[in-house]
Amino acid sequence: MIKWYMWALIAFVFVATFICQPVAAKEDTAQITLKKTAVSRQNLHKYIVKKGDVISAIIKRIPGITEADIPDIYRTIKELNPDVENLNNLHAGQLLVIPGKDIYNNEQPKESKELTELKDETTQGTSTSTGEFQNYQIKKGDSLIRIIHRELKIKTDIRKTLNIIKSMNPRIANVDKIYYGQVIKLPDKTVFVKAPEEMKDDEQVAVKSAESQAQPEKVIEIKDKVVMPPEARLAVIKHVITQMKGSVTSTGNYYLPIPKTGQVTIDCTKIPVIEFDDNTTVFLDLENRVSADLKKMIRENWKNFRLVEVDKKDDVIAILKKLIATTKTYSMVRKESPITIGKLPPIELFVDWVIVRTDSKDGKPLQGLRFLIPESYSLLPKAIKNYAQNNGLIITEIDSETGITGKPEEIYSLPPMPVFPVTSAKEFSYALLTYLGFTAYKDADIKVFDKAKNGLDLSIKADILVDTAEKQYVIYSHSMPQQFINVLTQAKYELIFVADADSPKAIMENILRKFNISFASGYFTFSGIDKNYAPFNFSFNGTKIKTDKDIYVIDFDIDQSLRGLLQESWSANIARY
C-alpha cells in the first residue's frame, strides 16, 4: 500500500514538472503576434510642461524609447490623462502623467521639480500628495474657493487657507487668477486633520484600520501595438529612395548574371531591388528568403551589390537606415535640433531624421523625415513643405500606422501683391496712401489767395493732396519758401515733407504718424504651433500697419505660397516696396 502511494507521488511530481516547463515558442515568419502589455503604476511619473514643449519631444526624452514605441506611448499618455483635451496643444504649467523613468531635467532648480512618482492614485486624479503638499491641476470652471471646498473639504477658515495657498505658490503672480491646465500646490489634506494624540481611542482605531487596508497596485492595460502594413512600409521606402534619384523595383524579375555559369533570377515581389544613383544596388530581403550560398556569391562577385536583411522587429526607419548605410555617398542621421531653410524669410522647423550627401561641400540635408504620432498628430502646411523643397530640402511625413501622409495642396485665392514704387518719394507716398484707402491727388493746385477777396490770385501746386473728413493733408517732396509754409499752415493744411534721399521705411513712418495710423516696425515671428500645425516658425523684418486689417510691409519678394499661408492662417496681408 505504501509503495502504491510512493509511486503515485513520484508520478504526480513528474507530471507537474513536465507541465511547468516553458513551451518553446514556434518561429513564425508570416506575422508578428503582439500580446497586450501592462504599465505598473509604480512606473508612472508626473511631468510639468515647460514653455515650447510638444508631446513628441516629451515622449522622445523618455529613456529607452525608439521610433517604433512612439505611437504606443502616445496612446498610453492619452489614456493616463483623460482631462487633457488635446495633447498637441500643451501649455506651460500643465501636468501630464507619463510612463517610464523620471525624464525631468536634473539641472532644473529644486522649486521647479514637480516630477514625483505616482503610487496609489487613479488615472482620474488631478492632485498628488508629497506628504506636506499636493499638486493640483486646474480644471475648467475651477476657482480657489471651489477647490478649497471640494479638494480640502474645508468649510471654515477659508481666508487662512487662501493665505497658505498663496505662500505655497510664489511663482504665480496672482493666485486668484488661475487657468485651465495650470498646476498649483495645495496644502496636504493631513494638515487639516487631527494629530493622533488629539484623537479619541476609537478614532485612532478607525485610522489604523483604514491604513491597514492598502489598495492593491493598480495596473493600466495598453492596447496592442499596431504595425505598419508591409505595402505601406514599401511605399515609404519607394518614396524616399525615389526622392534621392534612385529606383525601387518590386514587380517582375531581376536577372543577376554569373560569370561563365549562367544567371540568378530574383523575384522582385519577394525581394525588391533598390538602385541608388551612386551605382549601389541593394537586394532587400524582407522575409529571409536568400540562401547562405547566394549571400556568399553576391559578396564575392559584385562589389556594388549589397544584400539587406530585414528583421521582424525592424520598422521603416530601421530599414531605411540599413539601406542608406550600404551607399557610398549618403548617410541618415537623427536630428535633435531645428533645421533652418531659406533666407527671406528663413524658416525653422523640426524633423526626426535627415538624409545628407557625404560628398556635399555645404553638408545641407537633402531629405527630412517626420515620424508622426497617430490619432492626433499635427502636419506641416503644404506651403511650408513646398518652400522647403524649393530651397533644397524634401520633407516626408510618415504615419507610424499608415505610411506616407501629408496635407493636401492649399489653394489660395490671392489678389496681386501691392508693390510700392521707390523711384521717388512722391510716387512711393501716393502708392502707399491709395493702398490704405485714401483719395489722393497728384500735382494738385491749392488756391491760397482769391482776387475778389484778397486782390490777387495765388495757387500753390502740391505733390500730393489728400482730403479727409477731418483734415486736408499736403505732401511735398521738395523744399518750399517759409512764406508759403506759413500761408498753408494758417489755411489749416497739414504739411508733410518727404525727400527722395529718405528710405522708403522712413517716408512710410513719417506719413503714418501724420495720419495718426497705428504701426510698428520690427522683427515679426509666426509660429505653426499657435495655429495647430506641426512645429515651425518663420520671421522677417517689416512694418506692421494696423487698419481694419493687419498689413505687413516688407522689402523683399516673398514666396507666394507663404504669402497665402500668412493670409489664410494669420490674416496677415503682405505688401512690399
Is residue 411 included in any domain, yes or no?
A: no
Residues 396 and 441 both lie in one domain = no
Three-class SS of 521-562: EEEEEEECHHHCCCCEEEEEEEEEEECCCEEEEECCCCCHHH
Predicted local confidence at residue 213, as pLDDT: 42
How far apart (Å, rounded) are the C-alpha atoms in residues 8 and 277? Answer: 74
12 vs 282 pLDDT, higher one: 282
Question: Domain ends where: 343, 370, 405?
Answer: 405
Phi, psi of 28 (to 5 degrees): -125, 110
Q: How many domains does one find in the chain?
A: 3
Which of 195, 220, 253 lies at the terminal end of a domain, its last residue?
195
Tell me the percentage of the chain whose pLDDT exceeds 70: 74
1 residue type, one letter: M
User: Nearest Cα to 350, choosing from 332, 375, 372, 326?
Assistant: 372
Map residue 347 onto helix, strand or coil: strand
Write down the mean pLDDT value for the chain.
75
- Residue 341 lies inside a defined structural domain of this protein: yes
Residues 465 and 540 in one domain: yes
In a domain, 1, yes or no: no
Domain co-membership, 392 together with 447: no
Mean pLDDT is lowest, of 89-93, 307-311, 338-342, for 89-93
Q: Which residues pair with 209 in a beta bridge?
A: none
Q: What is the pLDDT of residues 466-493, one digit of tens each?
A: 988 888 899 998 888 888 888 788 878 8
**pTM of the entire predicted model:** 0.60
Left (φ > 0), alpha (ψ -120 to 50) or beta: where does 342 sit? left
Of 152, 178, 195, which one is at a domain's C-terminal end? 195
165 and 254: one domain?
A: no
Residue reference for cell 525601387: 248
Same domain, 55 and 180: yes
How many whole angstroms separate alpha carbon 148 and alpha carbon 156?
10
Judge whether 413 lies within some domain.
no
- Domain range spanning residue 97? 40-195
- Half-sphere exposure at residue 134, Cβ-oriented, CA atoms within 13 angstroms: 19
**One domain for residues 381 and 443:** no
Nearest to 48 by CA among 96, 6, 88: 96
For residues 367 and 393, is the Cβ–Cβ distance under 8 A?
yes
CA distances (Å), origin 352, targets 76, 87, 285: 21, 19, 26
Are 395 and 462 in the same domain?
no
DSSP secondary structure of 94-157 = BEEEEESS--S-TTS-GGG----B--S--TT--EEE-SSEEEEE--TT--HHHHHHHTS---S-
Query: Bridge partners of 309?
Result: 285
**Do 54 and 174 share a domain, yes or no?**
yes
pLDDT digits (tens, 9 = 90+) for 193-206: 444 444 455 444 44
Tell whether the model's pLDDT for residue 348 goes beyond 70: yes
Residues 6+ apart with CB under 8 A from 484: 448, 460
Query: Do 123 and 253 lie in a common domain?
Result: no
Asked if 449 and 457 count as a contact pair (C-beta separation under 8 A), the reply is: yes
Which tops the pLDDT comparison, 497 or 29?
A: 497
Q: In sequence order, which residues have a C-beta less than 8 Å from that of residue 107 and are 6 or more positions away?
A: none
Same domain? For 441 and 393 the reply is no
Question: DSSP label at 419?
Answer: B
Looking at the fold, whether 178 and 285 belong to one and the same domain comes out as: no
Q: Has residue 279 been placed in a domain?
A: yes
- On the 0-12 / 13-18 / 19+ scale of CB atoms within 10 A, 557 is exposed
Structural Rg of the chain based on CA atoms = 36
Least confident of 129-133, 177-181, 352-356: 129-133
Q: CB atoms < 10 A from the CB of 42, how many?
A: 13
The answer on 431 and 510 residing in a single domain is yes
Give 267's strand partners.
253
Q: What is the greatest pairwise CA distance in the chain?
A: 152
The bridge status of strand 403-405 relative to strand 353-357 is: unpaired
**DSSP code at position 486:** H
Q: Which of 31-35, 291-295, 298-302 has the lowest mean pLDDT?
A: 31-35
pLDDT in tens, 176-229: 567 666 777 788 765 554 444 444 554 444 434 444 443 444 444 444 556 788
Instruction: Please check whether residue 414 lies inside any domain of the structure.
Output: no
pLDDT digit string (tens) for 442-469?
A: 988 887 766 666 666 677 788 999 988 8
In our burial notation (b when 16+ CB lie closer than 10 A, e otherwise), range 119-129 reads eebeeeebbbb
- Report the percentage of the chain scoring pLDDT > 90: 20
Q: Is residue 208 included in any domain, yes or no?
A: no
Whole-angstrom distance, CA of residue 227 vs CA of residue 224: 9
Is 217 a domain residue?
A: no
